[in-house]
Amino acid sequence: MSEESNQETVVIPDTVVELSPLDVVQQEINQLKEKLEQTDKRLSVSQTEVHRIRNTVHEFFSGEFDGGEEEVRIHRDEANELLGDIGANLLEQEYEGRVVIAYSFTVKAESEDDAREKVEAAVSGMEYNFDAGNDDSYSEESIEVEF
């Protein structure tokens, strides 16, 4: 077996470079060292962030328990302030609301009951393009028609 069969050929436009197996291994080692350095940097940043969060939470509760209390009540806005300080999602609360939309209309019908049915049918078929959000709900409660 010739020495050339143990070498890897790298082709660069208009250039041919012969790399020995030792050169290839050295390149791989260098790449692994670079990845390890990048991972170490990310780990250091993460450890610093965890330390900051621990200190923030400790300071918050130290201030709440400074009078020797065994139990403390905090308001939602205080909890949200702490959660915001540590980069966590804030607490949410459900709110109920009611929207009343009034329409004026004129309809030809044989009777008031017939007119009411026509209007209710027309209104119930409307689409409202109401976006209640991701986890929120929307329901149509009732349709009231007055003459």
- What are the pLDDT digits (tens) for 3-46? 445 666 666 666 666 777 787 888 889 999 999 999 999 999 89
Question: What is the pTM (predicted TM-score) of this model?
Answer: 0.46
Across the chain, how many H-helices and E-strands are there?
Answer: 3, 2
Residues near 140 by Cβ (< 8 Å), separated by ≥ 6?
124
Residues near 16 by Cβ (< 8 Å), separated by ≥ 6?
9, 10
Which helix or strand (DSSP H or E) is residue 9 part of?
A: strand 8-12
Q: Where are the domains of the chain?
A: 6-85, 94-130+138-147
